[in-house]
Chain A
């Protein structure tokens, strides 16, 4: 549940989601659920010339199972907080 809470805190931030088919979609994080499915708003595909498959899509739902990376804004990561939370989770607290 750690990363679920973590992503919930990132709602509203601009992220780039790279998928397991090499497609990369940038947009504003709208919501995340327990499966880490991601909803993005104001989306654009990073390389639109190579991937014109989503030209008419502005809002999308990405299934958690196809996500390879989520690129975060640098100020969206509080490393110390994440460290603490990870330790707490590992202890089972």
Chain B
């Protein structure tokens, strides 16, 4: 069996990566998972988080927000709603994303009164965003978002 998988990371606007990887760590909606060669075919949605690709001994990090991943024994394709190499993730970009998430939350709060669903989703999105920020050392500028 080959010991690499074909890894593709695409966003609607561009193709970010296409490499032979030995290991891909994916922030799945139901929890993180690592795809290695021979993984069972899986489709999972993503939560905002950091995806790590191990290829040729080096690791590359990408910040991905939304979308889904299609995993087969030979390939991993990640279709992210928006994705950035970690190096391009600056405080500025992050602030803008946080701002979007915050607006989303406000909107959900004002739109839906009795249904917890959308608000919960938005809160989770915020929490994930904050987690991403703290992990890569950016200031979410937000201590209390409840």
Bound pair: A and B?
no
Residues of chain B having any CB pair with chain A under 8 Å:
none
